[in-house]
Structure 1
């Protein structure tokens, strides 16, 4: 807590309680203290901060009055605030630039893949079309990709799904029920939060800081919250772009196995490695706890979202249970798309290399535009993925999203990436549009930010 608050004193001892309350509120808005986080006892916090207990008590009283903190005798104090609602969607506008989706267009080899799939389709027409786990040759190629990355895999450990989110929902339905806790990163993928809530489960967030995963926090959450399931994105995490190193994967895998907590590991973005050396990537997290990891992947970011295909990898025993659970949802994935994806995976590296080259140029274009128009926005240039996670000069993400719609650009406020809102100092900016649209979008965002703050965000936002 003391490390998070940092240099919280702004006005010396004279306004110490007000400064401390403001510093705690900022960490709540920033998502570093998620809803439900239990706060230290007044005496412990006072000792850690080098402040008087009276000052700490006064700061907590301020936060209780505002509704940010709740307390109960014998149970201590905890974060109780929720972020404000989402902004309304802007009206249809042909000039609108959509920065809500971190999804690229299709690769150039998609049409030839479907041409080849159409030639293979007649061999499937005498069959039922219900493929169960998926077409064998596609599962073989997915399995080979894992084996090539150092995770030996057989086709019997792979199921083809209707996207990575579908794969997560299948695991969620099997392994977690109403009232069960699901450990998640914060920030994280908004649709995962929505799926957890739709299953009437409870997300338990562990803050993901600018320096990476809070490994001790994850271990503590596994001990204290007893989650039935976890959901992690270790490769170019959405939205931060961070990647968990090999040591961190080993530590998390060990903790999951010790707690006997299954985890869904989302590798949707693993192919979008912009380091120039994909072969130097850390090994899959599934190798650290084989019996407890369900790995999910997708064709959406690598090839095209319109394929609507993904997959999951798990132990044969767990995969059998997942297949049985799937019959209550659907009876398999479409055959023609599976044939096309199999063709794409037959020789995927040339297409993926070209994709990475194109994405690198778009990332650099967005970085350049932000440094020109919004130099006071902070961000880390990611080694992969499709988005920048930008720290704003002040807590204004939701207000910025509303103002941006009026300037012809649509963005998702930071609150959408929090399990319980917050993250008002953050906004995600994807770099999957053409470079000229990215430049124009950032120019419009700078004007929107200036209108929200009442002063210029950068140079003259009216530059034409």
Structure 2
């Protein structure tokens, strides 16, 4: 299990003496409050061992008595537990350990026929004209495939070549033999998990992260090892420590417009991550589903360019860039690993649909002409949603991402799950913050997609503000603020 040193926790706490409004109360309550918010915000993973009292006192420059009292307050509130021989560990009280945190009771879609506005998913509408043209082209190409059985375990050669060409253009030389076409990025990740992991194997993930990846890890019987993201991005030292302490079998990272924070890993962060993971010989799955959706300049080179070739698997799809209804994704890896993944895939679904592959091939050929207009529209929608939130929910803190499809909002109060329930009565469907964390946390957070037209986002924000008012009416702001991402 993860252990935090006094220096590591002190760095995350920052200026803890200023985290409580009015700076009132004794020092131990401010220390306890700041740690509690780090736990709620996922920056201190659940079950992580907190520093020893003497160690943390020295790092914070306070007395050991202050830290002892802070830990007592955390235990009293259910945010820490102590066991003989295992120290004090981060926890959540039972009321915070809700179904949405574990994925047990939250369903991603409303009932059939529901007229709720779906803000739980982040995927744009199809480029209708371009999609129709692509399917016209696919149908023209279809006759040459009809004499075959229709199964192609690895994917159509033309599509594999088109995907490989885009990687090569981004600085990652790739051949068609390094590509396996799948039914979306989620399918691709599940294939890797099936091949590489066994029950109870550890998989290193960012905290927060893409919830469907967490679901896939649970289904495999593996255990997610969360490494918290900070306002600045990826802490390479924390990743290195987690790798040393837990020896993960696999790592899953989203370095490009990370879902849900929108963060973009810098060149230095990519080098640092690759160094730590390469040194430990950890196979790393890099999810690039959002890499094409850059709203402020191109991202750095692919993370795979920094990793040993035999330790990297890059996955992608057209769901976020073009349309989720295509259900076409892919894996990029060394040919030997591609063959092993194809053998796993053969026991699952044999092949992807031919027409969709043909249409995707046509769309990739025109993607560079299609993307600028879509990105301009996404940039406008992002700014519209951020502006509407600033007007109607001025207490929320929102970091404007340089790409992707979502805003990761800090509401200032741990009411995310209650807000999701209330919002359905106001006509909108949301995904609670804990859905994006390992075993809870993020009750202060809400992910909002900017995939709808500006006028729809404006109305949705008004409904969201009404729902937020219902769940916070009469409540005082009793918990200190730790601004992790704003």
1:29 CA drift (Å): 0.8
Is residue 101 of structure 1 aligned with residue 121 of structure 2? yes
Deviating more after overlay: 411-420 vs 84-93: 84-93
Is residue 344 of structure 1 aligned with residue 363 of structure 2? yes
Q: Which residue of 1 aligns with 2:168?
A: 147
Q: Which residue of 2 aligns with 1:52?
A: 63
Is residue 359 of structure 1 aligned with residue 373 of structure 2? no
d(CA) in 1 for partners of 2:383, 2:36: 34
d(CA) in 1 for partners of 2:183, 2:24: 58
1:27 CA drift (Å): 1.1
1:84 CA drift (Å): 2.4
Instruction: Give the alignment's TM-score, normalised by structure 1.
Output: 0.94
1:244 pairs with 259, 265, 268, which one? 265
SS in 2 for 1:144: helix
2:120–2:429 CA contact under 8 A, matched in 1: yes
1:225 CA drift (Å): 0.6
2:39–2:91 CA contact under 8 A, matched in 1: no
1:93 CA drift (Å): 7.9
1:5 CA drift (Å): 2.4
**Closer, same or farther in 2 for the Cα pair 1:14/1:264, shift >3 Å?**
closer
Instruction: Give the alignment's TM-score, normalised by structure 2.
Output: 0.90
Is residue 41 of structure 1 aligned with residue 52 of structure 2? yes
Deviation digits for residues 377-405 of structure 1 (CA, Å, limit 9, x no counterpart): 11111111000011112222112222222
Q: Which residue of 1 aligns with 2:344?
A: 325
SS in 2 for 1:446: helix
Residues 204-283 of structure 1 aligned to structure 2 (within 5 Å): 204-275=225-296, 277-278=297-298, 281-283=299-301
Deviating more after overlay: 394-403 vs 77-86: 77-86
Instruction: Please report the RMSD computed on the Cα atoms of aligned residues, expressed in angstroms.
Output: 2.0
1:51 CA drift (Å): 2.0
Is residue 79 of structure 1 aligned with residue 93 of structure 2? no
1:253 CA drift (Å): 1.0
1:59 CA drift (Å): 2.0
Aligned pair count reads 454
Give ranges in structure 2 of 5+ residues lacking alignment. 1-8, 477-486
**Closer, same or farther in 2 for the Cα pair 1:285/1:395, shift >3 Å?**
same
Deviating more after overlay: 16-25 vs 283-292: 16-25
d(CA) in 1 for partners of 2:248, 2:23: 42
Q: Which residue of 1 aligns with 2:184?
A: 163
Residues 125-204 of structure 1 aligned to structure 2 (within 5 Å): 125-204=146-225
Is residue 285 of structure 1 aligned with residue 303 of structure 2? yes
d(CA) in 2 for partners of 1:391, 1:93: 31
Deviation digits for residues 143-190 of structure 1 (CA, Å, limit 9, x no counterpart): 000000010000000000000000000001111110000000011100
1:133–1:332 CA contact under 8 A, matched in 2: yes
1:68–1:80 CA contact under 8 A, matched in 2: yes
